[in-house]
Structure 1
């Protein structure tokens, strides 16, 4: 930790067998004056509740300037979420990115974390909760937190969580809220269907819509879902620039709907991923012609 006090800006200790004892040493380094540590990756270490609490105590210290913390697959549960939420409320909180993917937080853990996000001292920009057992109850807590004024969160990853129709709707309603400034949203493998696409389309038409990046890969949207989504892309209020629809059951019919949306004026979409879909020659040609036409903004097209 003496070395940490003087020179380290980025420290990677993923899957290194770090325990609560190691967390105590790191927390001490975070409290040092001056502390140069800005990014810390502890993913894949079984830190336990005591380890996460020690780290969180370090984050609260006014000397701590940590901006990015990765704790994916660290066995974080309710108690750890409570400690982290307390750290997010500290003044000043410098943390801008938090990765808790692969921890089974469940509804109670997500609610505790959301309480931290509501606090005006919390300046978190990026939150990654992939495969965390987030359900509709967790979505309700997150949506409430992101409506707080002001909300600093710009990127949210909820991939691999079975949000349910009601959970999805809560998220999409949130996107309509002018206080929500979310720009990037990952919903890969979340069980989104055509019903969810209808609510999402309504959100994409909201004014103003801040969303620029959307990943819906691994959801069985089908023709009706893609048609609905395309209707949203046509709206001039939609500012989406990057759309991932890998393994979504897109067919030639979906390609035609997407091509029609991309011809709308103006279409902001620059990148479209349609890998692992059953596309025919006609669908591929429709979109490829658009990509090759200088009148349209599409630059990257993956089949």
Structure 2
């Protein structure tokens, strides 16, 4: 008869007695009967059966037990089949397992006796997979991070005015037409011309790419996609695409292989022009929660840089110092360049959005995929208005009005213009405001500006300037900033100009 082979570390009682006493689990290695606690005497009127005694002993234990054996007598308790015990070894083992509040581990010759695989070499009776405090902490932190990111991005523009006037992105989001872009020469033609040309293209000529799939390789591609550059004219839906991508990730809908997403806008990075800081501290500025993220968790993360065209500082990829450590301090633009090149976190994913005219700041050799947001097709235009306007009769009237005016309908190719048109026409056609219904781009923009001015006036009741004065000053400021090459302006620009 072959005896079971010992698969765990052979620990003798004489050398390991003190160590065994310090352990909480009932892991016993034995060579003699003296090691049993206590030895059961079946001949002295012990009326309790082996099964009931064993069950009682297991119920008192709050820790799993591990049995290592060299002989039949080493099993705890020693089962005596010669004295009328008809339970098979298999059935007794099942009873032992079912009565224990914690999993028990038995070392035997067959792998079938181990459920799950255990690490006996370190005296650990708990499965590493089932009991990994560090992994549990990381998963809990990721859930909390996702929850907070969802709160930030679940509403349009990430802002909730109040509970009655919030617009959830998932309720009105309409899938955008995104295609593979051209990484060649940048088209510097006026954006309105680009919009009209794009609206005339046949969508069947270029297969669309789903926003959530931009980092997925095509079947014919043999290399992974690390850096994606997404181009598109102003208001075409680049930022909304980023927002939807993040929202789907936080809700577990897509890209769950990405451990963390760090959204960073170039507009906000402009405010840090005079600072020197490490990548770790840069992330802390945007989210204090990232203090808990270790470097190892950053290596597979996705960094999203939205609005390259708004960045005010040159990206010199030829003459920039090398930074390879996430704790090393440098200027923000230096950190960005080293991230894009791959000196910093070479396994991290990078997503950059930009208007076409500014996209050439990123060298083509640093970009693995170029995508282009083409905005709405005609069916998508109608879908947007029906989602945006709750009154479907009013939505139909707005669609009919826009279709009757070629210039306005072409401009609805741009999602932000659909938003402007919905804001204006919902008031005009809904009879909340009187006046001539806009029929030209100028009239539409004028009405929208009036609506926004009224909202500002209601919010700030102490305004001294007239509407005309305020609009003229803003127009003058915008013109001056455009002459300087700035697409946006900040508080310091207002102070300097004023």
**TM-score, normalised via structure 2 length:** 0.19
> Greater share of helix residues, 1 or 2?
2
Greater radius of gyration (CA): 2
Higher relative contact order (CA 8 A, sep 6+): 2
